[in-house]
Amino acid sequence: MKVFIGYVSLSGNTEKMAVNIKNRMLAVGCDVYMERLDTVEVEALKEFDLSFIGLYTWNQGGLPYEANEFYEELDQANFHGVKVALFGAGDLSQPKPCGAINILSNKMKQCGFAVYDRVLKIDQGAPAHDRVRQCEDFADRALSWGSKRKKWRYLVWNRMQNNHKYRKTAYLLRRVMDDYPIK
């Protein structure tokens, strides 16, 4: 699987999470590309089987300013079926703990992304061993979510494609699935 990890981090907590997720994905044999979100071309997410997007929260549940451009560019293309899992560090005692993740999740859903329904929010003061364990668990679960659907779709399509009775239907189904992916 080709996995992308994009993140923004000011004091390093979200970056550590990104590194933990990266190490886990490498350990299970994925091709991993990691980059800061403020230098990412949003369209590039389409090239990956699964993307992890991480960001911290600022200013009463707001997006960090380094994520603004990424957020605004989301409107400029069709992202139907592009899979993402969201994570970030915050202060879980705040009224809007890790609120930026919710803002980005809503926006990405509106833009057609398939957003993993679990998100990973870790408190700024979490001990390192706890953070690593949670990041690895989250990465494993997200990967399993990301690959299941692909395998299922491929299996159905492949079986139909290999049966002359269903070949035309398979072709049409493939087009429909690409336009309206199952969420």
Contact residues for ligand FMN (CB under 6 A)? 9-15, 56-61, 89-91, 94, 96-99, 124
Measured CA to CA, the distance from residue 95 to residue 16 in angstroms comes to 24
- The CB-of-43 to ligand FMN minimum distance in angstroms stands at 25
End-to-end CA distance of the chain: 19
- The CB-of-76 to ligand FMN minimum distance in angstroms stands at 26
Contact between 88 and 57 under an 8 Å Cβ cutoff? The reply is yes
Place of tokens 């990412």: 40
AA identity, residue 137: D
Question: Which residue number places its CB atom closest to ligand FMN?
Answer: 90
- If the CB atoms of residues 94 and 147 are measured against ligand FMN, the closer one turns out to be 94
- If the CB atoms of residues 125 and 137 are measured against ligand FMN, the closer one turns out to be 125
Phi and psi for 6 in degrees, rounded to 5? -120, 140
Burial class (CB in 10 A: 0-12, 13-18, 19+), 172: exposed
- If the CB atoms of residues 93 and 144 are measured against ligand FMN, the closer one turns out to be 93
- If the CB atoms of residues 86 and 114 are measured against ligand FMN, the closer one turns out to be 86
What secondary structure does DSSP assign to 112-131, as a single string? T-EE-S--EEEETT--HHHH
- The CB-of-36 to ligand FMN minimum distance in angstroms stands at 11
Q: Which of 162, 163, 160, 164 is closest to 176 using CA atoms?
A: 160
- If the CB atoms of residues 14 and 20 are measured against ligand FMN, the closer one turns out to be 14
- The CB-of-67 to ligand FMN minimum distance in angstroms stands at 11
- If the CB atoms of residues 3 and 15 are measured against ligand FMN, the closer one turns out to be 15
Contact between 162 and 47 under an 8 Å Cβ cutoff? The reply is no
In the three-class reduction of DSSP (H, G, I as helix; E, B as strand; rest coil), residue 49 is classed as coil
- The CB-of-66 to ligand FMN minimum distance in angstroms stands at 10
- The CB-of-55 to ligand FMN minimum distance in angstroms stands at 8
